[in-house]
A and B are shown apart, each in its own frame.
Chain A
Amino acid sequence: AQSVTQLDSQVPVFEEAPVELRCNYSSSVSVYLFWYVQYPNQGLQLLLKYLSGSTLVKGINGFEAEFNKSQTSFHLRKPSVHISDTAEYFCAVTRNSGYALNFGKGTSLLVTP
């Protein structure tokens, strides 16, 4: 079965600084990988996804992620964060059943001036 580990529960960062949110997964088969963002009191929104092809995936709001099969990682990066990026970020991988996602526990990104 697939599982997802988000290595940091909280990441504080100053505005305009770069950020990396780490995600590792375990799976014995090929996977599809996703990053979602949750703003306060809202549902989750898709940031980006890796299905196949180029290992560098670009998403919305200037975020990108790199799929590294040898390290079983899918880290999320942004070169310069804004206050508005303050949110909870979830990494997810497809489950064995094929239809539902298995989510990590989330990383809370706090951007301060």
Chain B
Amino acid sequence: NAGVTQTPKFQVLKTGQSMTLQCAQDMNHNSMYWYRQDPGMGLRLIYYSASEGTTDKGEVPNGYNVSRLNKREFSLRLESAAPSQTSVYFCASSEQGENSPLHFGNGTRLTVT
């Protein structure tokens, strides 16, 4: 049982380049999330999808777009990468509901030069 799978694991981009981070879960969860983790900042929510067909902004959505492709997949796109987007990105999923714990992927470490 793979759980939450993120690709790629590492990526280096130049300022202005674009890329898409992929996330897939095989637990039949309704809700999916993208967080970024920066030293001393904890995890901050970028976007989430409460259910298939819906997406909502989190705390730090600027510079990002998301697509809930189907129930399994939730991608995060950087249209024009900036050095401030250097971070570790985590995808997570949960059963629907505010008391459901999150299941995390292993992260994508992104460096923008």
Chain A residues within CB distance 8 Å of chain B: 6, 9, 32, 34, 36, 41-46, 49, 51, 90, 94-95, 97-106
Contact = CB atoms under 8 A, between A and B. Distances in A.
A99 B90 contact: no
Nearest to B54: A99
Interface of B: 4, 31, 33, 35, 40-45, 48, 50, 56, 58, 90, 92, 94, 96-99, 101-107
A101 B31 contact: no
A104 to B, nearest CB: 6
A71 to B, nearest CB: 21
A98 B4 CA distance: 21
A99 B31 contact: yes
A101 B58 CA distance: 10
Given A32-B98, A94-B98, A103 B43 contact: yes
B56 A97 contact: yes
A30 B45 CA distance: 21
A97 B56 CA distance: 10
Given A94-B99, A97-B56, A99-B98, A43 B41 contact: no
A43 B4 contact: yes
B98 A44 contact: no
